[in-house]
Structure 1
Amino acid sequence: MGVSKGQTLFKIGPPWKHAMNTRQPLRPAASPPTEVCVVTADAAFEAREVSIRRAIGELLLVVRESLRLEVVFVAEIVKGRRVFKHVSTSLDASPVQEGGGNPLEETICQRILDGRLPAVIPNVRALIAEQGLSRDHDALGAHIGVPVHMPDGRLYGMLCGFSLGGSIALDERDVRRLEMAAGTTARLLAQADGRETTQTDPALF
């Protein structure tokens, strides 16, 4: 077959057109890099601890406002000392600070634990001389305190609260409410240690 003048048998275009006309296997488009968030055990523990500290703080706030106290705290007993772990206060300058502490024998907490003093004390100042307490207790009015026992029965420390100045009418009903709060606190502390997983509601009052 002849080819007439001006007629082409093959039409050759630019290389890119040729490539487009060539059948090639399709390749899936590359996916954007995926960011993987790895939560370490330490990070998870820290997040849980922060959450539990917040829950205990909210619980102490409810207790303090319900009982009309200026200070409510959870203290751990460590090697003969009372160490303040959680504090809720309405004071700008509280006599109780987290991380602070003193010898247990010098405290009202010890006297409640061993039975020398009841859970409710209407006026601390009236008992300072009788109980051999330091003059640091002069500013205290009413005081209430109960032990905090962990779910396994171990004594953790004390949950206490006090007012400054005048006394406040506290009774056995308030003691029972504080004991409920102490139980909830113990379960939250156990969760922080990884020993308890039961969720608790801090709104007890």
Structure 2
Amino acid sequence: MIRVLVADDQALVRGALAAMLGLEPDIEVVAQAASGDEVVALARASEVDVVLLDVQMPGKDGLEAAAELHAALPGCRIIVCTTFGRPGYLARAMAAGAAGFVVKDSPPEQLVDAVRRVHSGLRVVDPALAAESLATGTSPLTGRELEVLRAAGDGATVADVAARLHLSDGTVRNHLSAAIGKTGARTRAEAIRIAEDRGWL
């Protein structure tokens, strides 16, 4: 029996995924989580084999939860299952230790197959997303540039961002300027949107 944990903040989606997987004779959904914060403790307590993680959840997002889970329970296999098939998410999920990446509009049998294949030690990646990821390439932004863009995401001023990150105004301006240049954007807001659309943020 493959013991599965489903983590998704939307109760309807979580319930539907659990019900669908529960119909399979060799799969049992033994736990469900509504946020990334619950994942490691639930996975450990329920002795799960495979964890299905949404990306966008309250508290820790799915990518942070994946990294934490991979570090805490390296034998547990992780599939990221998301509405947002962004190439940057795929790269970040794999870097965090995920063994699979599927989008929620995949046919149900594809998800069931992914659970079985990942459990058996294989990697499973949505083929269209894999091709797009190769075409887009990895993020050209440094960790600090991403941090500055993230901090500026709510419309914060340069001074606000500098205070939050304990940097000088000039350093923040330099990082924002570099991020704008690397994303091919014209403004800070456009750079943030591009980075979000590609899954780098």
Q: Same fold (TM over 0.5)?
A: no
Which is helix-richer, 1 or 2? 2
Which of the five TM-score ranges fits, normalised by the shorter chain?
under 0.3
Q: RCO greater where, 1 or 2, for CA within 8 Å and sep 6 or more? A: 1
Max Rg structure: 1
TM-score (norm 2): 0.25
TM-score (norm 1): 0.25
